[in-house]
Chains A and B, each alone.
Chain A
Amino acid sequence: MWTRDSQAARAARELQDGFYVNLGIGMPTLVANFIPEGVDVTLQSENGMLGMGPFPFAGEEDADLINAGKQTITELDRTSYFSSADSFAMIRGGHVDLSILGAMEVADNGDIANWMIPGKMVKGMGGAMDLVAGVKKIIVLMEHNAKDSSAKFKRACTLPLTGKGVVDMVISDLAVLARPAKGAPFRLIELAPGVDLDTLRMRTEGHFEA
């Protein structure tokens, strides 16, 4: 099984030199710690920044400089700032190469649900619907099973969708599932250390090709 850090490191292997990348809040943020040597990526933050740097040193925080998770960050020598409209022109317009997001459910047709649980307080979708609709490649980082042990990679999402048929790859603590194109079936790409195919099948509801 992979730890959260190992999952993030595995996701970082999908980064390619020159990519513009948007990382979601939570586990996806960890991917920035594992960018492979020799791979240069530019991080986009949907509140209006391209070229996001690391967290500031204590005492150097700037209230005017935050990321989409409202965390204080820093700028780099490549940084640019822009309005929310320009930011989503990048996202919706297909200019961002890759987005790595968390999810509550992913279906084997690529549907994703990650913004709302009916009956509970709904916080809102933020930029997630725009990201899954517009970014070229969508990778989901999530636990393979929910706290009640139900499978999160499902035949069909039960929660309200964030996007339909948009997910390209799922990296869980058990395995990597991916498909070559939207509309194609998911295939098993890699098992985490110590996980066998039977275990994966037992803990998965959605269809995938082994």
Chain B
Amino acid sequence: MANKLYPDAATALDGLLFDGMTIMSGGFGLCGIPENLIAALRDSGVKGITAISNNAGVDGFGLGLLLETRQIAKMISSYVGENKEFERQYLAGELQLEFNPQGTLAERIRAGGAGIPGFYTKTGVGTLVAEGKEHKEFGGETYILETGLVADVSIVKAWKADPHGNLIFRKTARNFNPMMATAGKVTVAEVEELVPAGSLDPDQIHTPGIFVQRLFVGRDYEKRIEQRTVRQRETA
């Protein structure tokens, strides 16, 4: 068996990075983001990144780290509202931005990973998103053509993995990670726990190991919470 295991993020990215590359990065907000790999990308100094990620992190964390260091040239995202540095760079014309509706973004990635170059959707018909795109009628309704997305490298975060790269995600930390794992020419996964082969239930695996080329156990997870909301216990 090919060895997919690496000791840490920097080693797992070794030889994969080049200026101007496209990187998909999993997560929704700060939930389920590959914290170790983002930090390693920052330390690598790779520049001119096109980053495909639903969000852009926050100031000083998540992809916000790579914005601070000006390593990202372009973002393809659905929502970037939580990041002041992003706003500053965008308004100054230093950063390109392509907005995709969230479902269109998810499907473009799914399609890219599945070898589907394009698909028609009714999302965005009659809006700015549809401008310049092919329109086509199906059953009396109008749809627009959207294209599949692939990346030079996808970085994803999972909860558990075995040495074959089979992945299991936890709760809403799954989000964009499974599709991105399929759409990277090389997919690097960081996980909270590595378990021996045979100890994951094959029926419960979310991402089969064929989609994961490199793997390591992440460390020092912060797992920041953006909106800590709680309810009061009713007092007896």
Contact = CB atoms under 8 A, between A and B. Distances in A.
Given A82-B174, A123-B80, A127-B101, A47 B126 contact: no
A208 interface: no
Nearest to A58: B230
Main secondary structure of the interface of A (DSSP, over half): loop
A124 B228 CA distance: 22
Interface residues of A, number: 53
Interface string B77-102: 11111100001001100000001011
B222 to A, nearest CB: 9
A138 to B, nearest CB: 13
Interface string A51-94: 00011111011111111011111010000011111011001100
A92 B103 contact: yes
Contact of B226 (A66, A92, A164): A66
B31 A124 contact: no
Contact of A48 (B30, B107, B159, B175): B175
Interface residues on B, range: 35 or more
A122 interface: yes
B172 A48 contact: yes
A121 B87 contact: yes
A26 B103 CA distance: 20
B176 interface: yes
Contacts of B54: 84
Interface in B65-124: 77-82, 87, 90-91, 99, 101-107, 109-110, 121-124
A70 B125 contact: no
Contact of B173 (A64, A67, A71, A162): A64
B117 to A, nearest CB: 17
Given A92-B122, A127-B101, 7 more contacts: A48-B175, A83-B106, A84-B54, A85-B106, A85-B110, A88-B102, A122-B99
